Chain A
Amino acid sequence: MKIVREALAGTQESSDLMVKIAPAHGELEIVIHSEVIKQFGDQIRQVVSDTLCAMNVHQGLIIIEDKGALDCVIRARLQSALLRAADEQAVNGGALK
């Protein structure tokens, strides 16, 4: 999946997160800010990289502002933002688990 435009998803509500995505040539840069980074930083990073991997994203700028969201919320917000940022209309259901 190729990121061709800038996109947002989510909110800054407690238990939610905001995802910002922008195209970037030849590099994948992931920035994670979280209120619970100390306790769950590794877990959050794992969810993010798994989701990117499942959706076959290898370049782009991914900024995440987490307000303590559950893993399923992180995954859903990230997927929404990626779908908005990508040039593909067809959704691969298997990747969106």
Chain B
Amino acid sequence: MHSQLPIDFRQTIVAQHPERLSQIRYLLADSGLGLDNDITLFVEAWSGSQLVGCAGLAANVIKCVAVNEQLRGENLSARLLAEVEHAALERGHFHLFLCTRPCNRERFARSGFWPIAQSGNNAVLMENTPQGIERYCRSLRAKRKCGENIGAIVMNANPFTLGHRHLVEQAATRCDALHLFVVREDASFFPFSARLEMVRAGVAHLPNVVVHEGSQYIISRATFPAYFLKETGKVQQAWSEIDVLIFRDFIAPALGITHRFIGSEPFCDITRQYNQTLHDLLASHIEVVEMPRIKATGNAISASEVRRLLKTQQFSRIREIVPDSTFAHLEAHYRASAEVA
């Protein structure tokens, strides 16, 4: 129970003590790390009056872990992680993810973290349980469908448009069964439960489509190791790769997926790059089928357009680009009360 030097641990709630961040920022910079702005809590390690280590927590993702160079080799990062795990559990997060550089992989593996996927020399995603992804795959295997062509689509559906429905319908005609994952992360305009409901209603007429609730393992905050790579291009690439590798190596085999269907992306750079990563990494494993977007009145249909129209209450134009089921939801929840009356 004795360590070489006396270290005191302290917790900093970012919202309550923003002034303490400046020291943390310096420490992170020494390790070539930036400070992510979604971190709500830092565990700090102090040796006397010097900040010698820190580890941040954003929901159930540990990031921005740094240890003063002179103190490396003292098992300090393991102690920091243990402190973070206790703090996270107090906040209701037991299942934790951690993104780090591959050179730290062994160190964290000795502190109770298991690797899930690695993007070259850029990033590795780990979790604090040896059977997290395994257990998830087991639950997926229970939903396996028979057939030669098994498709998959991942969508946020924020909200579900005619474009989404077209993609699902086209994919469904080409598959014996189609697994449709709705992104679970509640970071979008429409909450997860509403998006899921709109998707279920919008594909109810297709008997071979299975709608899945998304998980931490598909396009989530956990699969986004954005913080430690300075160049944004590299960040997006690492994120895309980790997510696609998890799909390729765990999710697709669990469900026997042979095809991944995606919509072409004329608007969003991140999605376009993600599509490219799918082409690159799935090649020779799973066939990637990219389908052009359908158009309504000249423009490609997009969910962001629906959100824009919603802001200005242009329901007649929304009606042209979403299925009736989505329209009913939007009208019930978002039409200004004055207009209804």
B87-104: which have CB < 8 Å to A? 89, 94
Cβ A7 vs Cβ B2 within 8 A:
no
Cβ B79 vs Cβ A12 within 8 A:
yes
Question: What are 16 inter-chain pairs, A to B, with CB distance below 8 A?
Answer: A8-B85, A8-B89, A12-B75, A12-B78, A12-B81, A12-B111, A12-B112, A13-B1, A13-B3, A15-B1, A18-B85, A18-B112, A20-B112, A20-B128, A61-B131, A67-B78
> When the two chains form the complex, which single residue of A7, A18, A63 contacts B129, counting CB atoms closer than 8 Å?
A63
Nearest-neighbor residue (CB-CB) of A84 within chain B: B89
**Does B82 belong to the interface (CB within 8 Å)?**
yes
**Does B266 belong to the interface (CB within 8 Å)?**
no
Q: Which residues of B contact A31 (CB under 8 A)?
A: 130-131
| 18 more CB-based (< 8 A) A-B contacts, given A20-B128, A29-B131, A63-B130 | A6-B89, A6-B94, A7-B89, A10-B82, A12-B75, A12-B111, A13-B79, A14-B1, A15-B1, A15-B2, A18-B82, A18-B112, A20-B129, A33-B110, A33-B112, A35-B110, A65-B111, A67-B75
Rounded to whole angstroms, the CA-CA distance of A54 and B65 in the bound complex is: 39
Q: Chain A interface (Cβ within 8 Å of chain B)?
A: 6-8, 10-16, 18, 20, 22, 29, 31, 33, 35, 61, 63, 65, 67
Nearest-neighbor residue (CB-CB) of B128 within chain A: A20
Q: Which residues of B contact A22 (CB under 8 A)?
A: 94, 129
Interface of B is mostly: loop
**A47 → B minimal CB distance (Å):** 18
Rounded to whole angstroms, the CA-CA distance of A15 and B79 in the bound complex is: 13
**A78 → B minimal CB distance (Å):** 15
**Does B72 belong to the interface (CB within 8 Å)?**
no
Q: Which residues of B contact A29 (CB under 8 A)?
A: 131
**Does B86 belong to the interface (CB within 8 Å)?**
yes
**B134 → A minimal CB distance (Å):** 10
Rounded to whole angstroms, the CA-CA distance of A16 and B112 in the bound complex is: 14
Cβ A14 vs Cβ B3 within 8 A:
yes
Q: Which residues of A contact B111 (CB under 8 A)?
A: 12, 65
Cβ B131 vs Cβ A11 within 8 A:
no
Rounded to whole angstroms, the CA-CA distance of A18 and B86 in the bound complex is: 10
**B269 → A minimal CB distance (Å):** 39
In the A-B complex, list the 4 residue pairs whose CB atoms are closest, starting with the nearest: A6-B94, A12-B78, A12-B82, A65-B112
Rounded to whole angstroms, the CA-CA distance of A63 and B85 in the bound complex is: 13
Rounded to whole angstroms, the CA-CA distance of A65 and B85 in the bound complex is: 13
> When the two chains form the complex, which single residue of B2, B86, B131 contacts A8, counting CB atoms closer than 8 Å?
B86
Rounded to whole angstroms, the CA-CA distance of A22 and B129 in the bound complex is: 10
Q: Which residues of A contact B112 (CB under 8 A)?
A: 12, 18, 20, 33, 63, 65
Rounded to whole angstroms, the CA-CA distance of A13 and B7 in the bound complex is: 11
Q: Which residues of B contact A15 (CB under 8 A)?
A: 1-2
Q: Which residues of B contact A35 (CB under 8 A)?
A: 110
B58-81 CB mask vs A (1 if < 8 Å, else 0) is: 000000000000000001001101
Rounded to whole angstroms, the CA-CA distance of A35 and B82 in the bound complex is: 16
Q: Which residues of B contact A14 (CB under 8 A)?
A: 1-3, 75
Given A6-B89, A63-B112, A65-B111, residue A11 in contact with residue B129 (CB < 8 A): no
**B97 → A minimal CB distance (Å):** 15
Rounded to whole angstroms, the CA-CA distance of A69 and B2 in the bound complex is: 12
> When the two chains form the complex, which single residue of B1, B3, B82, B129 contacts A61, counting CB atoms closer than 8 Å?
B129
B122-142: which have CB < 8 Å to A? 128-131
**A43 → B minimal CB distance (Å):** 20
Rounded to whole angstroms, the CA-CA distance of A8 and B82 in the bound complex is: 9
**B15 → A minimal CB distance (Å):** 24
B297-315: which have CB < 8 Å to A? none
Cβ A16 vs Cβ B89 within 8 A:
no
B252-274 CB mask vs A (1 if < 8 Å, else 0) is: 00000000000000000000000
